């Protein structure tokens, strides 16, 4: 029996989803196609209305060339995705693989049972269900198209397949994904901007979560027009995840809280997708993330001490260029561009320089340390702080579980030495005194131009102590 995970009664969507886990013992030589074929699709389809459906998966337990059992790709989607007609659309289908070196390809499902990898009709009546001008980019499963007719559904049937290497001619497995696009015309009075899902986690993030520990994730939706409200959040969730009601904590912001305690049977990747729908039936772009159950995301270690987990902290010179921070495990670059590390002016909170960790050559990932070469003219006397986007540090398993975002201005701070202030001479006048003065142990200092963690260092630690008795019969001036 399937366990229900999502049910949406929106009249345009009317979707239901469920999951079922079964454990089977099969020989290592097993290579079979598993599928479901029946009838019939809804009638309001651009192509294939009222016709049969077919969805198939190829399971191959034969050993890979490296001697291991293959892990099939994984994917997830919303059941129905809304797009305005006569508008160019670029839609990315999420795909990932636990075998990190595999080459993933996305292709159209087809009915060529004599030649396709599954040796069976893979799509029934919805083969070629999108407009003929649609372009599919296989390497990243990106669709480019325009929906021509309003109030119709457009079926999309794809196979995601993994290849051992770029020279392989046959895939090792084939995973289907079928879903619908819905074409609409914006109603009179609708906002010119669709709602958008914002927040700490970007679309297509990969997040490590431990087994048996409750996860709380907040989805934040932004609206852009007066009177625009969020009436529905269509989701595709892993088994056991619950959703709160939609709340409106402030103007133009809406939230829903996800709560989930992953079970041991869910070890590995579990996908989640969401799409916000407003009161004019405008839908946000899909927001999909992968939870990697049983794996930890790398943690960036909060700087606490000079010469500690991050460098520099404290006072540095204005020519400082070398910065570094450590993580709790081996890390690598983000798996996508647009993942930034930024330096901010602490007085204004304005970013003064940012680098995209996805490709910037002045960022070096080595073991558990990330080195940043920041080229900027730091202003003497100023204080700066560093922020890092979600995924600035990525793990090395499966979809590369991401570090959490760092936005706290107190997390990693440093200030720039101001020689004008440091060399200021002050004069004070004291009245007549007769006193015995004993100086405390002192040390001399000098500037070390190679310093990377603080601007003032002790180069001589020998204590110099002076004991003196002074008498005076007139006012004394010291400078």
pLDDT tens digit string along 169-184?
A: 999 999 999 999 999 9
Pick 191-295's CATH classification: 2.60.40.10, 3.40.50.2300, 1.10.10.10, 3.40.50.150: 2.60.40.10
Closest CA to 92 of 253, 230, 257, 285: 285
> How large a percentage of the chain has pLDDT more than 90?
66
User: Rounded to whole angstroms, what are the CA distances from 71 to 67, 237, 415?
Assistant: 12, 21, 49
Q: What is the pLDDT of residues 319-351, one digit of tens each?
A: 999 999 999 999 999 978 889 999 999 999 999
Task: Give pLDDT, residue 306.
Answer: 54
List, for residues 344-354, the tens digit of each pLDDT value. Answer: 999 999 999 99
What does the alpha-carbon distance between residue 228 and residue 432 come to, in Å, rounded to a whole number? 77
Q: For residue 445, is the peptide bond before it cis, meaning its omega torsion is within 30 degrees of 0?
A: no
Q: Domain boundaries in the chain?
A: 1-185, 191-295, 310-420, 429-478
Mean local confidence (pLDDT), 212-240? 94
For residue 445, pLDDT beyond 80: no
The strands making up 363-366's β-sheet, listed across from edge to edge, are: 310-311, 322-326, 369-373, 363-366
Name the band, by pLDDT with cuts 50, 70 and 90, for residue 308.
low
Given 3.30.365.10, 2.70.50.60, 2.60.40.1220, 3.40.640.10, which CATH number is that of 310-420?
Answer: 2.60.40.1220
Confidence band for 307, pLDDT divided at 50, 70 and 90: low
Task: Please tell me what DSSP assigns to residue 45.
Answer: B
Take residue 180 and report the two structure tokens written for it: 């619908």
Distance CA 457, CA 443 (A): 10
At 95-133, the pLDDT tens digits run: 888 787 899 999 999 999 999 999 999 999 999 999 999
Taking alpha carbons only, the member of 279, 107, 81 closest to residue 191 is 279
CATH 2.60.40.1930 applies to domain 1-185: no
| Residue 56, C-beta contacts closer than 8 angstroms, at least 6 positions apart | 33, 34, 35, 36, 118, 120, 122, 174, 176
Whose CA is closest to 61, among 76, 71, 74?
71
pLDDT higher than threshold 60 for residue 458: no
Question: Looking at the predicted structure, is the pLDDT value of residue 7 above 90?
Answer: no
pLDDT for residue 362 is more than 90: yes
Lowest mean pLDDT among 192-206, 221-235, 390-404, 419-433: 419-433
Question: Mean pLDDT for the chain?
Answer: 86
User: Average pLDDT for residues 210-223, to the nearest whole number?
Assistant: 95
- Quick one: what percent of the chain has pLDDT higher than 70? 86
Tallying the residues shown for the chain, one arrives at: 479
Band of the pLDDT at 92, cuts 50, 70, 90? very high
Side by side, which strands form the sheet with 142-145? 89-92, 142-145, 135-137
**Integer Cα distance of 205 and 301 in angstroms:** 20
More confident residue, 47 or 2: 47
């Amino acid at each position: 029996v399937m366990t229900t995970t999502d049910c949406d009664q929106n009249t345009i969507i009317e979707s239901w989803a469920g999951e079922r886990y079964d454990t089977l013992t099969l020989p290592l030589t097993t290579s079979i196609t598993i599928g479901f074929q029946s009838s019939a699709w809804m009638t309001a389809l651009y192509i294939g209305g009222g016709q049969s459906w077919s969805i198939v998966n190829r399971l191959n337990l034969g050993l890979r060339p490296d001697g291991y059992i293959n892990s099939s790709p994984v994917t997830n989607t919303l059941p129905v995705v809304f797009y305005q007609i006569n508008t160019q659309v670029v839609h990315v289908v999420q795909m990932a693989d636990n075998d990190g070196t595999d080459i993933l390809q996305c292709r159209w499902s087809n009915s060529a049972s004599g030649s396709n990898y599954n040796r069976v009709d893979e799509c029934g009546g919805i083969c070629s269900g999108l407009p003929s001008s649609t372009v599919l980019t296989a390497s990243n499963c990106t669709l480019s198209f325009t929906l021509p007719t309003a109030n119709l559904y457009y079926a999309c049937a794809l196979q995601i397949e993994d290849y051992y290497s770029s020279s392989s001619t046959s895939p090792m497995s084939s995973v289907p994904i079928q879903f619908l696009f819905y074409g609409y015309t914006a109603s009179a009075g609708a906002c010119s901007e669709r709602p958008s899902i914002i927040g700490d986690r970007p679309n297509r993030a990969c997040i490590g979560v431990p087994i048996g520990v409750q996860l709380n994730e907040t989805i934040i939706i932004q609206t852009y027009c007066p009177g625009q409200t969020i009436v529905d959040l269509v989701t595709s969730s892993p088994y056991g995840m619950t959703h709160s009601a939609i709340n409106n904590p402030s103007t133009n912001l809406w939230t829903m809280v996800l709560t989930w305690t992953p079970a041991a049977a869910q070890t590995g990747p579990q996908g989640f997708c969401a799409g916000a729908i407003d009161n004019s039936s405008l839908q946000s772009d899909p927001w999909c993330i992968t939870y990697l159950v049983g794996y930890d995301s790398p943690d960036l270690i909060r700087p606490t001490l000079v010469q500690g987990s991050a460098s520099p902290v404290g006072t540095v010179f204005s020519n400082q260029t070398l910065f570094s921070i450590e993580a709790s495990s081996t890390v690598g670059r983000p798996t996508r561009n647009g993942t930034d590390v930024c330096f901010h002016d602490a007085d204004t909170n304005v970013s003064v320089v940012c680098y995209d960790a996805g490709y910037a050559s002045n960022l070096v990932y080595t073991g558990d340390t990330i080195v940043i070469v920041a080229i900027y003219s730091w202003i003497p006397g100023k204080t700066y702080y560093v922020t890092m986007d979600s995924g600035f540090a990525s793990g090395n398993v499966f979809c590369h579980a991401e570090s959490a975002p760092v936005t706290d201005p107190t997390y990693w701070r440093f200030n720039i030495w101001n020689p004008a202030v440091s060399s200021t001479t002050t004069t004070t006048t004291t009245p007549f005194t007769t006193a015995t003065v004993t100086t405390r142990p002192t040390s001399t200092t000098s500037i070390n131009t190679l310093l990377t963690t603080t601007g003032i260092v002790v180069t001589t630690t020998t204590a110099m102590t002076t004991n003196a008795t002074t008498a005076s019969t007139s006012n004394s001036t010291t400078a």
